[in-house]
A and B are shown apart, each in its own frame.
Chain A
Amino acid sequence: MISTILLLGTILSTVPGRIEDVAGSVRRNVLLPIGQTLDRLLAPVDRALQPVADGYNRRLGTYFGEMTGLQFALIFGALIALLTAGLWAPLVSGSLLRTLALASIWAIFAMSWDIQSGYTGYISFGHSVLSAAAGYTTALLLVHVNPELSLWITAPISVLAALVLGLLIALPSLRLEGPYFSLITFVAVLLFYRLTTAFTSLGGIPGFSSPDVFTWDPTMRYYYMLVPMLLIALALTFMARSNLGMILVAIRENESAVSAAGINPTKFKIWSFALSSIPMGIGGVLLVGFTGNVDPHTFVIVDNSIEMIAMAVIGGMSSILGPLGGAFLFEFLNHEVLHGFSTPVRYLFLWGLVLLVLVFARDGLFRMIWHRLGAVRGENE
């Protein structure tokens, strides 16, 4: 029996080889010419924009990375589009502002995951626990201390709770090798889920409905989510471009070399986890203000952690802005483009997309576009 299957297997495994040939000729005959044409068209634009970009590069490039003209145009254009979305989004679709607000929160999660997992290569499957820690802290404060507590009090305590829980998970587990670390974070989510569903004092399955939403006005709500997201993106980009970011990448590439250079990798891994916990906490607080409900399904379940990872993967891991773009693409596809399909179909499509990106474009869609734009004039970055 086994030998028949193996024989069949050998035959079948030549098929991917054929597919590769076909893919190769498609690449040579179709994609390459299109790319070259695009390059030719875009190169003058890039050149024209270069002086503006240079102005930026001189002042801020050392902190946030240098850009070419086109890259600068992309970032600047996207920023303007996001900031003015309150004006144009309702014209496109009635639900778009909600989608964008949700995407902003998930962008925070995806970027936070990225600075820890994407950069160090220590993949966390448990990041939803961190936002959940913040969300549950807010809810518990309102329920047990004083239902009138202001956001200025609950928010900092909640973020602190996320940080504390982050350190509690990181300290023992980051000494372990990568796969062990991933699995222990995976188990941490399952355990946290069990706790929240089993104990009524933690809200049980319905959770808490006591927190209030910030506002039901779609435009205001969008900006409440967008502004913190942009600030976090700025801060994380700055850190990722600093020496810290370089060390984190070095840990991913060759941890023993980092040790050999006299740097303690565990210390930096814990740093990255702490750095990741704080924005996760902020995102958790925003999610409370978005839904007004703190329950295991919205905050804890392992699917949430995997969704953040999916967004980071689609956008491009270890680039901060890639996961940001990935989050917006994911939510836009989920809630706008695929809106008419039933939920399982939507998710099957999205998970399929993530798999395709993992196999064919490991660096992610946005990182790919970014490098393409950077190289239209044939230079390497």
Chain B
Amino acid sequence: MANEDNNNRDPGKDGNGAVGRRTFLGAAGAGAVATTFAGCLGGEDEALTIGHLAPMDNPLGVGSDRTAQMAVDEINENGGFDGEEAELLTRDTRTEPSEAQDVTEELIQQENVDLLVGTFNSETTQSILDLTAEFDVPFMITGSADPGLITDFVGDDYEEFKNVFRIGPINSDFQSESIADYCEYLSELHGWDEVAFLRDNAAWTEPFGEHVPDLLAERDIDIVLEDALSIEIDDLAPVLSDVNESGADYILRFFAHINAGEMLGIWHEAEYEFGIEGIHVAGMLPVYHAATEGAASYETTSQSGAAGVSPITDRTQPFVQDYAERYEGEDEPPTQAPMYMGFNTYDGISIFGEVVDAIGTTNTRDNLDEFVDEMLEIDFTGVAGQISFYGEDSDYPHDVEEERGDDGTITNFPMTQWTPEGDIECVYPEQHQTAEHQMPHWMQ
């Protein structure tokens, strides 16, 4: 009961976030009865607080929480945020919009946070955009890639939503392009040029459904099977049979809601002669190879930060080592490297530190214009890549800019592959590659 925020699954850390603003008086029995008193009401200026929002049942959120704490600790120790120490408050959004709204309102109205960072699935992000805009709280999205979160809000009503930035990942319009380039790489490497294009029948895959077919056609790659699968699907065997019949060289799939564990299991046991590529959110879990008992071997997924296996910038590997040293002893995954959201959250808070130093105040809510102007000036070397933001007049205002290599292809959306030994290798783009893409052993 004393641990008032939701960090209680993380007792090893320095306890900075454990003292909430509110005090509990009188807890009886097993903590069932408690009376809450507001420590302070009204808006007097107080210590700097940063609110972090993530699903804490999910390793993705746990990793993000840990990196947020790392960023806050580092800056606090190195002179602080414009001289001030910040306090990190993490709240569990689950993956439920109503829960997210609930905790966000608490962070904004009671804890008076000066920055909100996080949110994973697009529906929770969407549900709190209005709220953050209403109170002019800077909000850095670090987990959702839906372009609509930018175009339908800050793109549509700039003045209202200018508090919203996306630190990463790059939005799905750019992701489509990057994936198409990846397909070209596969075509050159293995001669794979027939694709079965499968996706969740859900809003987040629509940009892919819209762009990927054209982009592949431009690259002379044929789609031999295309389907948007119901997210309630519970028998994937017929789908695999269809893919097999279509003669596709690989499945290009975009799964976040569909539990693809069954698909991977059948794929391995039946030794189907095609690869499984694309984006698979569950496949980014560091424990996923173990969770599927090895059935994840050879599947690929793209993820910003490339799970920390590749030196994307000079800072990436030191950051991952530092993370591993801190959290190796924890029970709860991820202990070796945070998942993609953790990379972005760490960068977001680091950028926030730079920006408040530059504008000379941590009271961002009353100085939003200065904050926004300074954000747009940023060209920051983060752990997930080089970060800068699109300006007001672009198609994606305040969205993170994609990085492009010398040949013009996008480089900050790396692709990783599970090896049969349960390691992760970065297989694309070539700048960040740690190993070449492998075909399943039964195809080699």
Contacts and interface: CB of A to CB of B under 8 A. Distances in A.
A interacts with B: yes
Task: Give the interface residue-count category, chain A.
Answer: 35 or more
Interface string B1-39: 101111011000000000000101000000111111110
Main secondary structure of the interface of B (DSSP, over half): mixed
A292 B134 CA distance: 12
A293 B148 CA distance: 15
Given A291-B98, A295-B123, A297-B96, A94 B41 contact: yes
A94 to B, nearest CB: 4
A96 B106 CA distance: 10
Interface in A321-337: 335-337
A343 interface: yes
B203 A90 contact: no
Given A94-B22, A94-B109, A340-B3, A209 B127 contact: yes
A200 B22 contact: no
A27 B320 CA distance: 61
Given A93-B38, A94-B109, A344-B57, A206 B203 contact: yes
Contact of B105 (A96, A98, A212, A343): A98
Interface in B218-276: 230-232, 257
A206 B121 CA distance: 9
A194 B232 contact: yes
Contacts of B8: 340-342
B56 interface: yes
Contacts of B41: 90, 94
A94 B22 CA distance: 9
Contact of B130 (A90, A200, A213, A344): A213
Interface in A68-118: 90-96, 98
Contact of B36 (A98, A291, A339, A343): A339
Contact of B98 (A95, A96, A194, A298): A298
B206 A200 contact: yes
A207 interface: yes
Nearest to A213: B130
A295 B97 contact: yes
Contact of A337 (B3, B34, B99): B34
B130 A292 contact: yes
B61 to A, nearest CB: 11
Contacts of A341: 8
Nearest to B98: A298
Contact of A297 (B22, B106, B123): B123
A343 B57 CA distance: 9
B135 A216 contact: yes
A41 interface: no
Contacts of B33: 337
A298 B57 contact: no
A198 B201 contact: yes
B38 A293 contact: no
A342 B38 contact: no
Contacts of A92: 35-38
B166 interface: no
A178 interface: no
B87 interface: no
A47 B38 CA distance: 39
Interface string A4-46: 0000000000000000000000000000000000000000000
B301 interface: no
Given A90-B41, A291-B98, A343-B92, A209 B126 contact: yes
Interface in B81-126: 92, 94-99, 101-102, 105-106, 109-110, 122-123, 126
A345 B97 CA distance: 19
A318 B7 CA distance: 41
Given A93-B38, A94-B22, A340-B24, A197 B202 contact: yes
B110 A95 contact: yes
B129 A204 contact: no
A90 to B, nearest CB: 6
A333 B105 CA distance: 18
Given A96-B36, A344-B57, 19 more contacts: A93-B22, A95-B105, A194-B230, A197-B231, A200-B203, A205-B202, A206-B123, A206-B203, A207-B97, A293-B101, A295-B97, A295-B123, A297-B96, A298-B127, A337-B33, A337-B34, A340-B5, A340-B24, A343-B94
20 contacts: A92-B37, A93-B22, A94-B110, A198-B201, A206-B123, A206-B126, A207-B126, A209-B129, A216-B131, A218-B109, A291-B98, A292-B127, A293-B101, A297-B98, A339-B4, A339-B36, A340-B4, A340-B5, A342-B6, A342-B9
Interface of B: 1, 3-6, 8-9, 22, 24, 31-38, 41, 56-57, 92, 94-99, 101-102, 105-106, 109-110, 122-123, 126-127, 129-131, 134-135, 146, 148, 152, 201-204, 206, 230-232, 257
Q: What are the 9 tightest A-B residue pairs by CB atom distance, in nearest-first order?
A: A94-B110, A93-B36, A206-B123, A204-B203, A293-B127, A94-B38, A298-B98, A216-B134, A206-B203
